[in-house]
Amino acid sequence: MKFKDLLLGTAAFTFAASTAFFACVLKKGHDFEESMDKTGNALDQCVICGGKNKIVGDVPMQDMKIGVFCGGMSVDLSQVKADKKQYDLDIEVRNGGVNVIIPENFKLNVTDRCRMGGICDDTRHPEGDGMVVLTVYADVCGGGLHFENPISVSETIEADDERLTACPCAPLA
């Protein structure tokens, strides 16, 4: 009888704790959504309990906010036009992930606060004139944030060639 009571008590506690945690994440998500720029040309994005793939076309770059709460998002900024030398990107992630694709002439400057999660910078770091600094303020809890550059066609062909030559069962030419 004691084991059954212990099991029921543990199940009730787990259910109550996870419900309270999920409610807090949803509240943070709705608060973030309320703080977003609602003008027509704003690039701000938010996902609550879902997923989104946002491709920002040939538009002027601007400071922006991204929020992901219990979901995932991919944001492609590879075609934006940079009019300034520095932009701010404010990202908040709670139990989810974000993949951001940035142009090759953008240089990342990340200020982060990560708890049970992390940030990965897979961008190329060219030097020279014309570099645009993207200052990222990231708050990640229980999730991840990934930055990368767009993949070129030649890189895709090289990767396919490497896979074919490395495969032991590839037909001989």
Q: Flag whether 173 is in a domain.
A: no
65 within a domain of the structure (yes/no): yes
Instruction: Give me the tens of pLDDT residue by residue for the chain, a chain 173 residues long.
Output: 688 888 888 999 999 988 888 888 888 888 888 888 888 788 888 999 889 998 888 888 999 999 999 999 999 999 999 889 999 999 999 999 999 999 888 888 888 888 888 899 888 877 777 788 999 999 999 889 999 998 765 555 565 556 555 555 555 54
| The pLDDT value given to residue 36 | 85
Report pLDDT for 126. Answer: 73
Q: How far apart are CA 155 and CA 12, in angstroms?
A: 52
Q: Is residue 158 part of a domain?
A: no
Identify whether 167 is part of a domain.
no
Residue 21: the pLDDT is: 84
What's the confidence (pLDDT) of residue 152?
64
- CA 160 from centroid of its chain's CA atoms: 27
Predicted TM-score (pTM) of this structure = 0.77
7 assigned to some structural domain: yes
For residue 126, the enclosing domain spans 2-153
* Number of structural domains found in the chain: 1
pLDDT of 2: 85
- pLDDT value of residue 41: 81
Contact (Cβ atoms closer than 8 angstroms) between residue 150 and residue 122: no
Query: CA-to-CA distance for 115 and 166, rounded, in angstroms?
Result: 39
> In this structure, is residue 172 part of a structural domain?
no
Does some domain include residue 170?
no
User: CA-to-CA distance for 133 and 88, rounded, in angstroms?
Assistant: 9
Q: What is the pLDDT of residue 6?
A: 86
Tell me whether residue 11 is in a domain: yes
- Structure-block tokens of residue 62: 């601007």
